[in-house]
Amino acid sequence: MADIAAQPFQAAEQDGPVLAADGRPLKASLARALRRQRLRAFMLVAPLLFFILITFAAPIADMLFRSVENQIVPDTLPRTVLALQTWNPDSGELPSEAVFEAMVADLKDAREAKTHTRVGQRLNYESPGISSLFRKSGRGVRRIEEGPYKEALIDVDDGWAEIDTWRTIAQFSGNYTDGYFLAALDMERTPEGEVTILPDEDRIYLFLFGRTFVLSIMITLSTLLLGYPVAYLLATLPLRTSNLLMILVLLPFWTSLLVRTSSWIVLLQQQGVINDFLVTLGLIADDNRLQLIFNQTGTVVAMTHILLPFMILPLFSVMKTIPPSYMRAAKSMGANDWTAFWRVYFPNTLPGIGAGAILVFILSIGYYITPELVGGTSGTFISNRIAYHISSSLNWGLAAALGVILLGSVLLLYWIYDRIVGIDNVKLG
């Protein structure tokens, strides 16, 4: 007994490191125990981690990588790309016979592998018309047996006699390109190689990014204004009543998104329920019905309704934890209702506001179906353009570039939020 009690004392007496019971240095022993603990924790989450990496993170990274990838041009036209290095795009002259010969050989190979039209599509994003140039030339090039190749290729399609065609190929011959990012920022590279901003009437993406952020902020604010009193009621009413109210909040949450969006169309359209009601009351004339949908109003109204539960639920769970005695204490010390609310209750709900606002804002920035259906032209988001480029125009490079910019700006906003409010102050319950 005395021996055991003496040991730590002795250890403290020593000059060397503190020892654990088994004689190893305490620091190492502790580190080992912690390491084992960490390993165990890691092993526990590993299946989920690998699942997310393989099915979520890796595909996203692969998709985002497409925003700079341009392998298809050097892969399909290797000889041409090499031969074009000696050509001066500013010379004002067509490339030499050797380049044409290389192009004919590349086109023949590409025709075999059926890749000539793909490279045509890629270059068509930069210069309209190249798509059919490659499609036609793929057919015609089979007939070219011998030189002079320049005349023969121009004979197949006179697009090859235009210097801009060659400039475009030379410009986008690298393994990587900034073309998609420039397009996503409403810029382009002229055939001379300078970066210029598109003329005013062709600009669209920056404008759409701006609109997406402004509308998302409006939606966040209106969910907060509408959701705060509801959450307060839910948190303060007796359990029976508040449970019933809670079901009313959750019921739309469980209803299909498309059903809720479509019902807003029924309500808000010009021959819809709300306009009919206002006309019956005589508030508006029959031939002067309000345009409430297929514009920004429609998007804000429908999305506010759809995202409302995401604001109410975090607010509710935070408000639930605020003891009613705080308000009573404030009032007993002479505060009126407003002061007690503003100085005591409201600051306590800030973590819930932060959580709800971040949830709603980030969800609405990436929202797609509702703006597509009720947004008309003035209420659509950048996500609608991304979806268009993924599923319709097949310009996945541009879609990826737009996605990178959207992701980057959300991360930036998140960082700013963390700096100003502090992410530790966010509470989901």
Partner 1 sequence: MKLRLTTVMAAAIGGSMAITAASATDLTIVSWGGAYSASQQKAYHDPFMAKNPGVQILNDESSAEAVAKLRAMNEAGNVTWDIVDVVASDAIRLCDEGLAMEINPDEWLAPAPDGTSAADDFGDLLVSECFIPQIVYSTTFGYRTDMVGDNPPTDICAVFDTATYPGKRSLEKRPINNMEWALICDGVAAKDVYDVLSTDEGVDRAFAKLDTIKDDVIWWSAGAETPQRLADGEVVMGSTYNGRLFSVIEEEKQPVAMLWDWQVFDLDGWIIPTGLPEEKMQVIKDYIFFATDTQRLADQAKYISYGPARQSSAPLVGQHAELGIDMGPHMPTDPNNAKNTLLYNYEWWADNRDDLDAKFQAWLAK
The binding site for partner 1 (CB under 8 A) comprises: 114-115, 117-118, 120-121, 124-125, 128-132, 135, 201-204, 207-208, 211, 269-271, 294, 372, 376-378, 385, 390-395
The partner residues of 195 in beta bridges, in order of sequence, read 189
CB of 114: closest distance to partner 1 in angstroms? Answer: 4
Supply the minimum distance, in Å, between the C-beta of residue 120 and partner 1.
Answer: 7
SS3 category, 163:
helix
Residue type for 243, please? N
In terms of CB distance, is 33 or 53 closer to partner 1? Answer: 53
Nearer CB in complex with partner 1: 393/425? 393
Q: How far is the CB of 44 from partner 1 (least distance, A)?
A: 28
Nearer to partner 1 by C-beta: 286 or 337? 286
Q: Which of 255, 364, 245, 365 is nearest to 316 (CA)?
A: 245
Least distance (Å) between residue 414 CB and partner 1: 27
What are the contacts of 116-120 at 24+ separation with CB within 8 A?
116/76, 118/72, 118/76, 119/72, 119/73, 119/76, 119/77
Q: Is the peptide bond before 148 cis (omega within 30 degrees of 0)?
A: yes
CB of 362 to partner 1, least distance (A): 23
Three-state DSSP class for 145? Answer: coil
Residue the block writes with tokens 């190249």: 130
Please identify, using beta-carbon distances, which residue of 171 and 395 lies nearer to partner 1: 395
In whole angstroms, give the CA distance from residue 284 to residue 265: 19
Q: Give the nearer residue to partner 1 in terms of CB position, either 304 or 395.
A: 395
Complex with partner 1: residue 74 or 129, whichever CB lies closer: 129
CB 73 within 8 A of CB 81: yes
In this structure, the strands spanning 195-197 and 187-189 are: antiparallel
Q: How far apart are CA 269 and CA 262, in angstroms?
A: 11
Closest distance to partner 1 from the beta carbon of 87 (Å): 25
Asked whether the beta carbons of 181 and 68 are under 8 A apart, the reply is: yes
When the beta carbons of 325 and 377 are compared against partner 1, the nearer one is: 377
Closest distance between partner 1 and the C-beta of residue 395, in Å?
7
Decide: helix, strand or coil at residue 176.
strand
Give the nearer residue to partner 1 in terms of CB position, either 62 or 155.
62
Cβ neighbours of residue 37 under 8 Å, at least 6 residues apart?
none
Shortest separation between residue 209's beta carbon and partner 1, angstroms: 12
User: 395, 389 in Cβ contact below 8 A?
Assistant: yes
- Residue where the block lists tokens 């709300």: 274
Q: Using the minimum distance from each CB to partner 1, give the nearer residue, 80 or 124.
A: 124
Q: Rounded to the nearest 10 degrees, what angle do helices 346-365 and 205-236 cross at?
A: 140
Tell me the closest approach of the beta carbon of residue 276 to partner 1, in angstroms: 11
C-alpha 300/C-alpha 222 separation (Å) is 9
